[in-house]
Homo-oligomer: A and B are copies of this chain.
Amino acid sequence: MVEEQTLVVDDRQLSAVFSALADPTRRALVRRLAAGEASVGELAEPFSMSFQAVSKHLQVLEQAGLVDRSRKAQQRPCRLRPQALAYASGWLGDYRQLWETSFDRLEEHLTNQKGSQQ
């Protein structure tokens, strides 16, 4: 009777998604994939790093559930899985009211602090 298989966002996946998004290269890959499926070669091209490094980044994204790979001849097209982004966004959403309410007070506070901070 394991219940872990449900829609519950488990902590590990959340960590994996946030961790994957913590790298600017990987965020760029996500941005690119949002426009549509692409092969590893296509994805790697705009980067100055080696092809294999990009392949590794894609593996990280795949492990986090952010990317899904199929096969097409020699190519291995990558596709974005937005559901994983929804997980992360959902977690953040729990705190949405904190930044949506009383922004003025927050800014005021931060400004004051800034003055006395450094």
Contacts and interface: CB of A to CB of B under 8 A. Distances in A.
Bin the interface of chain A by size: 35 or more
Given A15-B22, A68-B113, A93 B99 contact: no
A66 B64 CA distance: 23
Interface string A10-27: 010011101101111001
Overall SS of chain A's interface = helix
Interface in A79-104: 79-83, 85-86, 88-89, 91-96, 98-99, 103
Contacts of A91: 21, 27
Contacts of A18: 18-19, 21-22
The list of the 3 closest CB pairs from A to B, nearest first, reads A82-B99, A19-B22, A82-B98
